[in-house]
Structure 1
Amino acid sequence: MAEFILLLTTIASVLIVAHCIEHQLIKDQELVTNYSYNSLVSFPNNVSVETTVLDLSHNNITKLETTDLNYLLRLKVLNISNNLLAELNKEIFDSNKRLEHLDLSYNKLENVSCTFPDNLRYLDISYNNFTTLSVCKGLGNLLKLEYLGFGAQQILQSDIEAISPLKLQHVFLNLDTLTHYQNGSLLMLNTDYLHLASLSMKKDIFSLLFDVVNVSESLELSNCAYVLYIENSHLTAIADNSRVINFTMNGLSLPWDLLTSILQVIWHSSVKTFKLSEFTVQGVINKLQFDYSNSSMTEVHLNNIQSKVFFFNQTILYRLFSEMNIKTLIITSANFLFMECPLKPSNFQFLDFSSNAMPDDVFQNCETLINLKTLIMADNKLQRLAKVSSMTNKMISLQHIDVSRNQLDYKEEECSWSQSITKMNLTLCSLTNSVFKCLPKNITWLDLGKNDITFVPLDITYFEKLEYLNLEFNRFFDLPDCTFFPHLIVLQVDHNQIPYPTTEFIHKCNNVSRINMEGNPFHCFCEIRTFIGEVKKSPGKMINWPEKYVCEHPDNLRGVMLADFYMPEIYCNIYILVPVIVVPIIFALVLLFIICKYCDVPWYFKMIWQWTQTKHRTRTSKSHYWELGRDFDFHAFVSYSEHDASWVKEIMLPSIEKMDNSIRICQHERNFLPGRPIVENIINCIEKSYKSIFVLSPHFVQSEWCHYELYFAHQQLFTEKTDNLILILLEQIPQYIIPSKYSRLKSLMAKRTYLEWPKEKSKHGLFWANVRAAISINLSDLHHEISQNDSQALLHDQEDNEDDQAAVSAGRTQS
């Protein structure tokens, strides 16, 4: 009993633990509910209580009630930006203790008196109608807050002071409605990144910017056009007192000379990384003096640059950037058509000119980029791979080159890559197999994904240092030969056309520890079994095994993982298939032969066939006899030797005639007419019989009368052309004992099928059925049909005579 109770307790404990785990899994799942862009005017009433992420942005909601959110206890993210909220209930978020992300931007809030949850990490209340930032006084307890977005018409020290204890990672401040700024207010902010947007105030702008550049080391200005019209001396003063290291400017449109002036001021400030994006160059591009000395600048990023100037000396534009003595220069999506080579040895270590329109003539014979380590020319107008190689041959420090997304071609030209290149990206370049003849020899990392490569040519040199090779989205039909890459570690051949990889690669490339082959159209037949077996020995070698490796063919296995594919050994191994299939077939044939041999199956088939043929001949001969007008008294005349009389009387006649007397056999002992010659009796009996049966045996050929009977029956066969002979072979007759005068018997036995008397009693029934079928006919019906035929013939003759007489009478009348 105690053991039973213990068992029940254990089971109950397991069930409780399972339930808790299941509940926790459900609890950890995120339920996202999206009602954005639904033209809602109030909070929806069908939000699930399990919702963790709720998006109500871009609607027309004017008010939130306490009851709208108090049941959403699992809510973590609430986005209600771009609505028409004018106020928030004081207790609106009291039940949402888990809320971490709250976006109330772009509404019509004038004041916020609610208490925000303590777990809040993201709060955006920017682009509302706040007069002051008194709302900040309620944020001082949000110690987990990382992002804060806000803005007001007035920025006062007393408001900012309330959030000064907070260690914020990112502060966003919209200044589009700013009319008054109290000096020193923003200096109270404690943040790693300060982002100011839409500055439109002219008054007190100097004081604002002077504080801004001392708040954080990272500063971003977006759509702050009025900054550009500050006096140059003021800009210099701001720059000299700045602690900004990372400076970003977005959404500007300015003349070339003003851009150059601002860049010059920044160049001599504390800024090390300068980013300029989404801007347009206006005015005339003239050559201006630019002082590159005494700068802390190390990186310049230019992205998405447009120009309204179309006719200018392009060298002026490109020379401004090529002479920058910095380590990193990134100019992307700027429609640059060229780039000048520096006039003197440059400090450039990283150059990125992605998404421009540069040809492969750029940097040809450039000897001043001696410190360059990374060159990115992706998505340009490069065309000849050999020309690209000559671009790099004097870049003695170059290690990484990226020329992806260019329409490159290689026509067996000489390539002269820099010997220092170890990493190369040639993705999406429409390259073919010949690309392996134009690659840096010391390369260790190579990306040839999304090209038109089908195999690795055999006439290439070894890449002794190559460790990573990406061949994804090409047209390989098998794994490449690892002989050319003796130190390869990682191979990407996913999404090619490999049906069943050969294991030769795995055996040859012992150094390859990671292979990605997912997305290939695997053919799940015998050929792939060996590969699957090798992979199962070291499954960690295949990246994303087994989930991403599925059968493509045949159709009935499509979607089945290779790890689950199984095909019996017998279907694939011919050495097993032959014994298992061929041997049973041979055994079955031998067994069938034995059965046929000992059970006389062929004899039965032979007798059935003869019975069928006999039936057919019976119908044919019946119609023939009608034509002859023959009349029969007997079904058959039997001819036999006196030595075989006992068999005929005791076995044959009782078996054929039986008890119903439906078949009448003519036998000489009972049907020959006394007093007549024997020959006459024989002829009469044969003519009065439907068939003639001859019982053949060695005694038969010794009988003179049997010879006569066979002679007359044979003569009838030829004269009337009727099939009236039935030969029964009672005993075997050796050919040598048949006299020469019995030539007809030899001929008949050679040409006609005879019925052989079986010794087995089980076969007698079928034997006599064949005999009866051969002679079975209703003689009375035959007499009646013959009489009808004779009457019809007589009537036809009379009609012919009458026609003839009528014709003669007509002839006489004419005469």
Structure 2
Amino acid sequence: MGPITATEKEPTLKYIDISNSTILPSKSYNFNDRYILLTNILRNVEVLNVSSLPYSFLNIDYTLVRKVSGKNCLQMFSESSSSEMNNYLFPNMKVLEINDLFKYKIVLNNSVINLTCAGQVNLKSISMRHNNLQWMNISLLLPTDFAIKEMDLSSNKIQYLSPQLMSGFSYLQRLNLAYNSLGFMQKYEEFRNIFSGQRHIIVLNMAFNSLTYLPVNMFMNNNKLRQLDLHGNKLKTLSFKFQHLHGLSILNLSFNGIVALDPVTIKAFNSFRNVIERIENKTAVINLDLIGNPIVCDCNTVGFIEWIFTDLTVNKTQPYSCYYEGEYLTIDRNIIEKSKFLCHRTLVITLSVVIVAIIVTVISVYVTIAHYRSKAKRRKLSREKFIEMFLGDDFSKNRISFIVYASDDFDDLNKSFSRCLNNDLQNALKTDRRLISTGDLDIAPGYPIMEEVLRCVTKACTLIVLASKKFCESEWCQIELREAYNLNIPIILLFKEDVEESLMSPTMLAVFKKFARAKLIAKDDTFETVPEWNQFVESVINLAIEGTGLM
């Protein structure tokens, strides 16, 4: 195809496919000319495929998202008018395919992209397969009339997909997320909310994502869902609620890790089918596909395999099979009877070992009680020895706890907490000696501050952090925390308020994620802790003992 100039009349092209093409832009065009030419050519295009273009031609700026994040829509496009924005986003385009463009992995994190001023957008389908979009933690603000119906994000190795990003595509009807790595996202609480904004979704494909579990309320807002493809994952059971999905006709759970479905799940599925039959006044046809799962036929799964054989819609070309005592056999009446026989054999074996089990149990209980008493005795002796050492003259530490807090954050709650902790520690150790230290009370004036901080930290058995946002902002507080952490001194994070992880220093974040923390809550003229106060004080003492190596 020959060169196209910017002076040519407006093209009437509706469909353009330049995938896998080699494009050589003319050197005589500057950026403005190329922009005008591009918008002129694509203004009336309804279907555009720019997949697999040469990487050298694209000249992709991987920092673009970071540059525009947080800007308002007009700022992002250099104060473009709504009319110019329409040109930029090609308002007549309905289908866009941009597959296999990005050579390197894309990590989009903590970004907000504002496209609310984009004007009229008629895009209905977008495909972005094979683009290495591995981390999509962004919020996308779109025009209110943005009603894309179909999206393909398969084969991107996606590990994180923000619910805030997905909420912008509230009119989606078909979503393909197959061949990604969303199993990595299971550990995040927001995983259960990925599809909370997709109230119109009809077809959802999450095949081959290494999923081991789906949250109970994963699909609570997806009442129109008809086809759910979860094949090729590592699911063990139906952990999510499906009884409200009255339009569901295909549930593909093939090639997962399902050994058997429990009776509760089977009953729920039968009830679900009955409800649909009552609503539609006809036989419900729900294709539940369990082909390729490591189903086991034994005494414990008789009910499940009977259900498969009699109630489940069986794929006639590929019947269900199961593992029966090392053999892989087709599920039929014969294998069901063999599995029932295993119940009788199991009963005989069980009865023969009951007496031995009782004897072993009695012995185990006796050993457990003896071990518990011995452990309790050792703990008591360790405590007595610690108190004796601590109150002696030769012990290297003179305080149970060093309490650190931001000076700007000091209030009556700090005073009340410090006083009560000191009193209860004195009662527990049976001494009148002051057992807590703070920067205000113990750092000696006139001496190098770093030496004094180190002295206070090393003289205390534990470090208690009264954590707050101001604490996170204090450089000196972070120094005290870091010194204690480097010296392996037990640290207790006691939060006075909610603090976002993003505000924490690396050391504080490491302690936050590794050790249990507590909360300090002001209550009128007093306070309370979570866990309760007595448990908190006991933890301080036990950590002090453990820090000396006695426990």
**Which of 1 and 2 has higher RCO (CA within 8 Å, sep 6+)?**
2
Question: TM-score scaled by structure 1?
Answer: 0.29
TM-score using structure 2 length? 0.41
